[in-house]
Each structure stands twice: as structure tokens, then as C-alpha cells.
Amino acid sequence: MSPESVRLDQALRWLSLPRTLGKDSDGEEVIAASGRFGPFIKRGTDTRSLTTADDVYTVDLARALELLAQPKAGRGRGRAARTVLKELGEGAEGKPLQLLDGRYGPYVTDGTVNASLPKGADPQALTREEALRLLAERGKAPKGRGRKAAAKTAAAKKPTTKKPAAKKAPTKKTTAKKATAKKTTAKKTTSRKSST
């Protein structure tokens, strides 16, 4: 739009953003705004893009919380929002527990940890308890990391002490010089004896 064609009502509408929609159950403020990548909602540092069906000027708190409850869509090429196959209730930390259709097959997520379903498992037969077990197993620290691994790394980095260099055997030149010096001394001694 050209600046001359902007009407007062349009300008006032744009200036109404960001809009405060209310507070969530924890008392955190939820807002609707428009940014570099389009309209979005925000709660603290958590953001979600609005869909084409949502209007940043009319979206309400209930819809905003519904969007915030969904896992974030992946970023980058080849990653799109995953299809929710099944809602499984709340996870261990009160986050929504969902069964999603991923690039490499179905998986469960609580928004933080993802766990693939075992091969041959029926996604629709998955229970909340099984999903929690899969996430708990996936959340464990990988094997081989801990004190033993750290000790091995420290041992590998331990500096080696250098041995003192061994003394070299005298070279032939030194031996030859000594032999010449002995001969000279012997000649001088012999000539002195003969002169006396």
C-alpha cells in the first residue's frame, strides 16, 4: 500500500498489535502479534505461527492455548508439521502426550523428548502408559558416558615423560686424535732420554 492510500481505521487496526489475549492457567500472558514471518501468538519465549484460518485481530485466548499445546513445527527444508495420529493425555510433566506420524514412522512425544514406536507395533493400540515408558527409556543418558569414560579420556590425555638421551659413543676422530697425541708424547719422551 502507498502511504497516501492508508485510511485511519486501517492504521488504528495495525497499531492495535500486539494484542493481549489474556493469561494461561499459570498466570503467563498470551499475546497475538505480527512479525517478520507473519502473524503469531506468544507466551513467554514460546511462539506458534497462526494458520491461514486464524486472524491475528480476532484470535481468542482459547484458540491461542490450543495452538500453544501443539508441538512446534520443524524448521528447515524437508520438515513440515507432523500429523497427530492420537492424543494420549498428559505426559509426566503435564505436557500434552501425542502420537505423531513422522518421516521415519510413528513416534510419541511430550514436546521435549521423542521416541519411535518399536517395529511391528500398532500405533492405534498404543496406550498412555506404553508411551510414557518409551519416553522414559529414550530420555535415559546414553551408555558409555560417565566417570569411567571420563577417566579413560583423562588417561589418554596424560602427558608422557621423556627419557634422558643416551650418551653417544666416541667417534673415530676423537680416538684418532688421542692416539696421535700419545705418539707425540712418546717421541718427546724418547728424544729426551737419548739426549741425556
pTM of the model: 0.38
What is residue 146's predicted lDDT score, i.e. its pLDDT?
A: 47
- The pLDDT of residue 76 is 45
What are the tens digits of pLDDT across the range 110-163? 888 888 888 888 888 888 899 889 988 887 644 444 455 555 555 555 556 666
Does pLDDT of 173 surpass 60? no
Cα diameter, the chain: 137
pLDDT, residue 21, reads 92
Q: What pLDDT does 140 receive? A: 63
Q: What are the distances in angstroms from CA 161 to CA 17, 110, 158? A: 68, 52, 10
Per-residue pLDDT at 78? 43
Which of 19-33, 100-114, 166-180 has the least mean pLDDT? Answer: 166-180
- Burial of 108 from C-beta contacts in 10 A (0-12 / 13-18 / 19+): buried
d(C-alpha 17, C-alpha 106), whole Å: 39
What's the pLDDT tens digit per position in 63-117?
999 888 888 765 544 445 567 778 888 877 777 888 888 777 888 888 888 888 8
Q: What is the pLDDT of residue 195?
A: 55
Other CB atoms within 10 A of residue 167 CB: 6
**pLDDT reported for residue 139:** 75
pLDDT given at position 8: 92
Per-residue confidence (pLDDT) for residue 30, from 0 to 100: 94
pLDDT for res 61: 92
Reduced to 3 states, what is the DSSP secondary structure of residue 174? helix
